[in-house]
Structure 1
C-alpha cells in the first residue's frame, strides 16, 4: 500500500510538471473603431508581429505571451471602461494608448492602480518628466515640431498657417507651441491657426478658407491620416499651388497616399524611421510585416514593434520579485529596428525624426 502511494505521488508530480506554464499577460489599448482607426490598427499590427515572433521562438522562458486587446474608440467613456478591463486582468504591462488625448484619460487610472503602461506614440510634452507609471518610446511633440519648423524655413517658408484637430488638444497644442516658438526664433511667424473637431460632418473647406484669409505661404496639418487627406483635398481645390505639410500624426504614409490621391502630391510629412535603411534588421522587419499583413508598414507599426520588443527584452531579464517599472528602467538601452531606446529616470525616451515627400504617388525621403 505504501509503495502504491509513493507511485501515485510520483505520477502526480510528473503530471504537474507537464502542465503548460502560466502565460505572460500583456494588454494593448488603442483606438480601433474611431474615424482615425488606421492609427490604432497600425499599432496593433506592430505589437502582434513582435509577440507572434517571440511565441514562435518559445515565448519567454517557456511561457507564451497572451495579448489582450481593448478598443478605446478615442472616446473618454469607452477608454475608461477599456482601461478598467485591462487593469482587472493584472497584466505584466499594458501597451498604449496611441493618442495623447486618451493618455490624459487612462494614465491617472494606471498610476492609481500602479499599472505600468508603455506608449509607442504618445508624444505630448504634458507627459514628459513625470515620475509615474507611463513610459514613452516616441520623441515629444516639441522635438518633432522644432525639426519641422527648421525644414520648412530652409525651404523658404516664412508665414505658414496651421489647421489642427482640437479633439486631441494635448498633442496639437504642444506641437503648435513648439513649431511657433522655433519658427519665430528663425525669423518667421505663424500667420493663422484653425481648429476643428474630428467628426464626419466637419466642413474642411471652411477650415481651409479661414486660413487662406491670412495669405499664408504654406499650409500645415496637425491631424490624423484621414483628416489630413480631407484637408489636402480642399486645399488643392482652393489654393492649388500652396505647399502642404503634415505632422507625424499622419505618418501612415502609404495610407495617406491612398486616401488623399493626387491632393497629397508634394505633401511633406514627418515620420519616425529611415526609409532608406539597408540594414538587415530593417529589411527583415519590413518583409515580415508585409508577409503577415499583406501591406506595407507605417511609422506607427514600427514604433509599436519596437515597443513590444522593449517589453519582451525587459521581461526576459526581469528577476523574480522585481517590479516591471524597475526592470524597464534598469535593463536598457534596448535595441530597436533602427534606433536604440533608452529611458531616462522618468521613463521618457527620444527618437530621431525623418521627412518624406509624396512624389508621383511614391514616398521619397529627404536626405
Structure 2
C-alpha cells in the first residue's frame, strides 16, 4: 500500500506540475537591417513589431500562449543576410517578419522557400516579388503602384523634365521604381532628363551625383534612396540648384527622421508614403499615442506598416486550426483590419496599399494628397 500511495502521489504531483507549466511561447522572428548606414529603416520596422507584440502579450497572448520575438540583423549585406536566414531556419519560428528591403529579399527568399519557411514583409515593394506562388507574403503596395502615383502628382505640380537619382545597391526596389515612374511620366507628356545611380555602401560623392543630373537641365529632381542618402542628396541639390523642386520615393518616408537629417535642405520636398497623416480616427490616434509613449518619438510609415503586419499574423494565428500551416491560415482568414486600411491578400500572398503624399514645410510634414 505504501508503494502504491507513493506512486499515486508522484503521478498526481507530475500532473499538477504539468498543469502549472505555461504553454510553449509562439516564436515570431524579425529579419531586418539594424547595423547598416540606413538602419533607421530596420529600426522603425522593429519598433512597430515590438509595440504590437507587447500589446498582444498584455492582452493574454494568442490563445493563452505568449509571443517571443527572435531578432536577426541582415546588415543589408548578402553574407550577413544568408547567415541570419540560416540561423532562423534552424530555429523554426512560426513565421518570419521581414526582410525590409527588396535587395535582401532577393538573397533570403530562395533559402526560405527551400526550407518551407513562411515570411511576411511589411515593406518589400519590388515588382520582382509580385504574382509568385511562394512562401513570401507582402503587405505593402508595389514599386509600380507608388511610382505611377508619384509621376502623376509631380506632373500635376508642373514638372516636365525629371532627373532621377537612385541607390543601385537596392536595385530590385530602385530599378523597378525608376522604370515605372519614367514610363508613366513620359506617357503623361513629361520626360526623364537623366538618371544617376550610386552605391550607398561605397564612397559616393553626392555632389557628383547631383551635378550629373543638373547637366541635363531638369525642372525637378526625384530621389530614390534611404532617408540618410535622400537627406545628403537634398543638401547637395540645394547648394547647386537652390530653387529646384525635390521629391523622394517612399523609401525615405519617415518625414521626421528626414527633417532631422536634412535640416533646411529638405524644406519643400515632396515624399510618397503609406498612411494618412490627417486621420483623426480612434484607431490611428491610439496607435500614434502608444508608439510615442513607448519609444518617446513619433512613428514613421515603416513602423505603422510593421505594426499592421504583426497584427495580421496574430489574427491569422488566433483562427488557425490544429495542424494548419501559416500560409494557408494567412490566405484563409483575411481580410485583416489595419490601423487605417484593410489588408487583403490575393492567392499569391500579395496585398496593396493606398499611396499618400506629404510635403515638408519648414520643420513640419504636411500631407497634400
TM over 0.5: yes
What is aligned with 2:272? Answer: 270
> 1 CA distance for matches of 2:201 and 2:7?
70
Once the two structures are superposed, the pairs formed by residues 180-199 of structure 1 within 5 Å of their partners are 180-199=182-201
> 1 CA distance for matches of 2:133 and 2:219?
42
Once the two structures are superposed, the pairs formed by residues 69-218 of structure 1 within 5 Å of their partners are 69-199=71-201, 201-218=203-220
* Structure 2: tracts of 5 or more residues without a match: none
Contact 2:169–2:201 (CA<8 Å) still a contact in 1?
no
What is aligned with 1:57? Answer: 59
> 2 CA distance for matches of 1:196 and 1:124?
18
- Normalised TM-score (structure 1): 0.99
Q: SS at 1:63's partner residue?
A: coil
> 2 CA distance for matches of 1:271 and 1:203?
27
Moved more, 100-109 or 195-204: 195-204
Aligned-residue RMSD, C-alpha: 0.7
* Structure 1: tracts of 5 or more residues without a match: none
- Normalised TM-score (structure 2): 0.99
1:280 aligns with 2:274: no
Q: SS at 2:208's partner residue?
A: helix
1:28 aligns with 2:30: yes
Displacement of 1:199: 3.1
Moved more, 339-348 or 56-65: 56-65
Displacement of 1:361: 1.1
> 1 CA distance for matches of 2:10 and 2:135?
47
Q: What do the CA deviations read for 1:81-124 (whole angstroms, capped 9, x no partner)?
A: 00111111100000000000000000000100000000000000
Displacement of 1:5: 2.1
Q: SS at 2:30's partner residue?
A: strand
Displacement of 1:200: 6.2
Q: SS at 1:276's partner residue?
A: coil
What is aligned with 2:296? Answer: 294
> 2 CA distance for matches of 1:187 and 1:201?
36
Contact 2:99–2:105 (CA<8 Å) still a contact in 1?
yes
Which residue, 322, 326, 332 being the options, matches 1:330? 332
Displacement of 1:201: 2.3
Which residue, 343, 350, 361 being the options, matches 1:341? 343
Q: SS at 1:278's partner residue?
A: coil
> 2 CA distance for matches of 1:307 and 1:8?
46
> 2 CA distance for matches of 1:28 and 1:303?
14
Displacement of 1:7: 2.7
Which residue, 253, 259, 262 being the options, matches 1:260? 262
Displacement of 1:188: 0.7
Runs of 4+ in 1 over 6 A off after TM superposition: none
Q: What do the CA deviations read for 1:49-97 (whole angstroms, capped 9, x no partner)?
A: 0001001111111111010000000000000000111111100000000
Q: SS at 2:105's partner residue?
A: helix
> 1 CA distance for matches of 2:50 and 2:79?
26
> 1 CA distance for matches of 2:203 and 2:211?
16
* Change in CA separation of 1:200 and 1:104 when aligned onto 2, cut-off 3 Å: closer
> 2 CA distance for matches of 1:201 and 1:290?
35
Q: SS at 1:85's partner residue?
A: helix
Displacement of 1:15: 1.1
Q: SS at 2:154's partner residue?
A: helix
> 1 CA distance for matches of 2:254 and 2:42?
11
Q: SS at 2:354's partner residue?
A: coil
